Chain A
Amino acid sequence: MIKEVNNSVSVDDLKKFKDEVLHKYPKKVAKKRDKAILLNDPETPPQIQANVRTVPGIITQRGCTYAGCKGVVLGPTRDIINITHGPIGCGFYSWLTRRNQTKPETEADENFMMYCFSTDMQDSNIVFGGEEKLKQAIREAYELFHPKAIAIFSTCPVGLIGDDVHRVARHMKEEIGEGINIFGFSCEGYRGVSQSAGHHIANNGLFKNLIGRDDEKRGDLKYRVNLLGEYNIGGDAFELERIFEKCGINLIATFSGNSTIQKFENAHTADLNMVMCHRSINYVAEMMETSFGIPWIKVQPIGADSTAKMLRKIGQYFGDQELIDKIEEVIADEMVAVIAAREKALKKTNGKKAMLFVGGSRAHHYQNLFEELGMTTLSAGYEFGHRDDYEGRVVIPTIQIDADSRNIEEITVTKDETRYNPRKTEEELKALEAEGMEFNGYEGLMPQMAKGSLVIDDLSHYEMEKLIELYKPDVFCAGIKEKFCVQKMGVPLKQLHSYDYGGPYAGFKGAINFYEDIEMIACTTIWKELKAPWESETYVEAQYAY
């Protein structure tokens, strides 16, 4: 048993946390939060309460379904015109704020990423319905830009007044013709309990409207893979594209960093799906497996060692010695710079304490990078994760489906009659499993965290303040809303949504960037200057003496 989670904070210290915070809450709230705060046991992960409603009035990190659907999953694709159907705000706030980078291959290629499209609903549209305005907006978008596809995203009032965005989509697809693809998402903000519902809705839409529309196999026929749940924040996808290319791995589609419609439509021609952010995209992986017979594996290309691990898994999956050798060569080559950078950073970062409260996978993956820096994660949790993201997919059958989850459309997917083609036989899969590969599985965050470390789901502002007050981490990882509160307390906050406008942090070069940035945080001297010289006791005494 690990007695000390970190040399300066013991398990007993962390045990105090729950009592410290719960007594502040009203009884009902305390009872609910009690189940979302626990001490970890990596051997037998305890059951955590996750993906349940946030108590009204609690200051939460969470956003809404629209944000998960339009902002996260569909936002990074450059050649779809995304029209927000609603009042102006939702479109405005999701306009370029997630740092999804994209790189069209030519100057002539379509790229609508810098644009914000909205129907800007007014009160008359709320009273009399907004479908006609939406139709007209689509006509105008087509007349101005002639896009290949238009997607419609519903905001809260749309569902309430009964506008049917799917009917409008069908109608306009027919009216415009010309092979245009138009589809809608019922991603009203009030559905579900967080962004997570929006991811699910987006996944369903991707599968129904895009995946599988283009059967042509282009490029190399070998080593064809998709990367799922990678959104090219700060250029992460560019770095992973670079690594795959160097290894000779043929990346068909990324969902959805640096993506195009054609890549989605063609994704089913790949032979392996790799899931990066399990929470936001596992549904697509599952549906593609069922429908087309493509197995999926969980990967964590965050951290140099786990990037190497991902590449080795790909090599193992395809089982081709040429590829395996190439991958080893690339890893050896890349690791030279990585190790040099790591050793330099380690001198400053070793033994420091981190806390991570972000997303549905980042709070897990980034622990790899902190481990590589010799740092301990004292506490971590997700903003919108589910129990399987904490405890592993083995718990899925035991997760109770509540009213909020039931509201989210489940689509039934069956084997595609003509295109279902298991990429590996049962025996081959069994053999690979025997060698240690895991298919369609994810073990979750808890097995990776030390015994006795604190796991907290849907951290509240109050709990965050207490964590910092009690344990003074050396770096706290969260998002923009938390950034400056934590820093006012004298603790540096590393944003893991926007990377504080740095990055990329994925892959090998990303790991080097992260080492450098955390080293920088550890070496930033301004934190020592918070007190003015005349505020110190010695100064006051000297004054009196004088």
Chain B
Amino acid sequence: MLLRHTTAKEIDRKALTINPAKTCQPIGAMYAALGLHGCLPHSHGSQGCCSYHRSALTRHFKEPVMASTSSFSEGSSVFGGSSNLVSAIETIFSVYEPDVIAVHTTCLSETIGDDLTQIISKANEDGKVPAGKKVIYCNTPSYVGTHVTGYANQVSAFVKFFSTATPKKRNVVNLVAGWMEPSDMREIKRIANEMEARTIMFPDMSGVLDTPLTGHYDMYPKGGTTQADMIATGDSKFSIGIGPYTTEDACIKLENKCKVKFETVEIPIGLKATDRFIMSLSRHANLPVPDSLTEERGRLIDLIADNNKNFYDKRVALYGDPDTLIPLVEFLLTLDMKPVYIVTGTPGKHFDDAMTAMLKEKVPEAKFKSGERADMFQLHQWIKQEGVDMLIGNSYGKYIARDENIPFVRLGFPVMDRPGNNFFPCVGYTGATNLLIKILDAFLDHKDRTCPEEKVELVM
């Protein structure tokens, strides 16, 4: 057994996290910063932070992930990291030539209290920032919130530094993208195109973290929200925040700064969340839903109805980020499955309320937990107490899945042991179809491998 020391017996843990279902803020900021065209994320802290974040993102995306670091030494930790940052800015602009440097902090620079506003304005005053170039920043202390918080903070920083309102509003809807795969962002843009809606998506990692292999390497690939578009978000008539945990702050900031009204919706994973997203876009772009999308929806319903017997009453354990888990739990309920155990290391009342509302009647036995010590060890202990039929989450679940012999579907961050996230979205009706096929394959492959020989079926 891989996790041989995990038993069903729980103790009341107050301090020890075991097998976390979260990581720290800066990686989220780094990921989001890659969604701005020509932007180099910069980690203001020890080299290890930057190295770890780049490695984790690279293992997931299988793509170049570029970012620089302030390379703190013991001296900078004592005397402050100001000179490191100023020298980094100068070096980065002359060697790596980005249009924008997006600085985020770490637990180190936050603990010593480096003041980014002051350091960066001094760098500007001292002429370290070439004309036409920009240094933006956000605070991402690792001891507050999680990677989800860091992503949200970087997206807010885009609004803070770019969004500008001119007297002329445009008939454009902002699509503020929460933590999704580049393929999901591509799919959402396709849906908007299908509806002929004029939109600006930010951040946008499609074309950045799913680039073609051509023999030529672009440090700043073609994709990403352009600065011009980012500035123009202030003139849009409405914003839809896709994933409240990661986008609500940015939407509020944009409303306060540029009077752009907004609503947040769940990431469109599954039937109902996609329905709501499409209705929201239809309403705010003032466009009808085209028949093509209704047909996509119908095909999804067809697939669900045809395979209902494989879903009905199946017990599922899940872990990951709230913006993914909320619509995913809803989708499983649409399939008449039973999400019985759900954990996320990211704290927040919205998750708890959403789970209570969705599960209270349909799955009264469900257990869920968020925040500190809502970890995969806890989840595994629950599974030991009463088993499940399926596990859904990032690659770290494979150890539980193997020990307990449960079908396993990889979804979330990071997925390091299977490719495909950059090709097959899980959002929209098409994405829901992809996800369903994954779930079905996991169930049916498991059955084919483990059922008695006389029960092996050709047609399923």
Contact = CB atoms under 8 A, between A and B. Distances in A.
Interface of A: 24-26, 29, 53-67, 83, 86-97, 107, 110-112, 114-123, 125-126, 133-137, 139-141, 143-145, 155-157, 159-161, 189-194, 403-404, 407, 460-462, 465, 479-481, 483-490, 530-531
Given A57-B90, A87-B107, 5 more contacts: A55-B87, A133-B15, A156-B107, A157-B107, A485-B66
B52 interface: yes
Given A53-B71, A144-B11, A407-B74, A489 B215 contact: yes
5 contacts: A65-B46, A86-B142, A140-B14, A190-B72, A486-B217
Contact of B85 (A56, A96, A479): A56
B91 A55 contact: yes
B74 A191 contact: yes
A93 B56 contact: yes
Given A88-B23, A88-B24, A89-B52, A56 B17 contact: no
Interface of B: 1-5, 11, 13-20, 22-27, 42, 45-49, 51-56, 58-59, 62-77, 84-85, 87-92, 94-96, 106-108, 111-112, 141-144, 146, 211, 213-218, 345, 372-373, 377, 396, 399
B144 A123 contact: yes
Contact of B91 (A56, A107, A111, A135): A56
Given A55-B71, A63-B47, A160-B111, A95 B18 contact: no
A198 to B, nearest CB: 9
B60 to A, nearest CB: 11
Contact of B92 (A57, A145, A483): A57
Contacts of B64: 484-485, 488
Contacts of B216: 488-490
A190 B11 contact: no
A480 B65 CA distance: 10
Contact of B55 (A97, A107, A403): A97
A190 B46 contact: yes
Contacts of B107: 86-87, 89, 121, 126, 155-157
Contact of A66 (B19, B48, B106): B48
Contacts of B67: 59
Contacts of A26: 90-91, 94-95
Given A56-B71, A123-B143, A156 B47 contact: no
Contacts of A193: 73
A57 B88 contact: yes
A56 B15 contact: no
A246 to B, nearest CB: 29
A523 to B, nearest CB: 18
Given A56-B88, A120-B17, A92 B23 contact: yes
B73 A88 contact: no
Contacts of B63: 484
B48 A63 contact: yes
Contact of B23 (A93, A107, A134, A404): A93
A268 to B, nearest CB: 29
Contact of A403 (B13, B18, B75, B84): B75
A140 B15 contact: yes
User: What are the 7 A-B residue pairs with the smallest beta carbon separation, nearest first?
Assistant: A64-B48, A89-B24, A57-B88, A57-B91, A189-B46, A490-B215, A136-B15
A480 to B, nearest CB: 5
A108 B415 CA distance: 30
A141 B55 CA distance: 29
A190 B108 contact: yes
Nearest to A135: B15
A54 to B, nearest CB: 5
A116 B345 CA distance: 14
A160 B54 contact: no
A194 B47 contact: yes
Contacts of B71: 53-58, 60
A87 B73 contact: no
B217 A134 contact: no
B20 A24 contact: no
Contacts of B14: 136, 140
A531 B215 contact: yes
A461 B73 contact: no
Contacts of A155: 107
Contacts of A486: 217
Contacts of B18: 115-117, 144
B106 A156 contact: yes
A484 B15 contact: no
Contacts of B66: 59, 461, 485
Contacts of A156: 45-46, 72, 77, 106-108, 111
A483 B60 CA distance: 13
A407 B25 CA distance: 29
Given A87-B143, A92-B20, A465-B217, A64 B51 contact: yes
A58 B280 CA distance: 44
B90 A530 contact: no
Contact of B111 (A66, A161, A479): A161
A107 B4 contact: yes
Contacts of B20: 88, 91-92, 116, 118, 120
Given A64-B49, A87-B143, A137 B15 contact: yes
B54 A481 contact: yes
Nearest to A27: B94
Given A95-B396, A484-B58, A59 B68 contact: yes
Q: Which of B45, B54, B68, B107 has the most CB atoms of chain A within a 10 A radius of its CB?
A: B107
Contacts of B69: 56-57, 59-60
A120 B85 contact: no
A71 to B, nearest CB: 9
Contacts of B47: 54, 60, 62-64, 189, 194
B7 to A, nearest CB: 8
Nearest to A195: B48
A178 B144 CA distance: 36
Contacts of B88: 56-57
Given A123-B144, A160-B108, A488-B64, A64 B16 contact: no
Given A24-B94, A67-B52, A118-B17, A89 B26 contact: yes
Contact of B108 (A61, A110, A115, A189): A189
B271 to A, nearest CB: 33
A88 B52 contact: no
Contacts of A461: 66, 96
B17 A88 contact: yes
Contact of A143 (B2, B11, B17, B94): B11
A143 B66 CA distance: 43
Q: Which of B47, B73, B108, B144 has the most CB atoms of chain A within a 10 A radius of its CB?
A: B47
B87 A56 contact: yes
Nearest to B48: A64
A483 B13 CA distance: 40
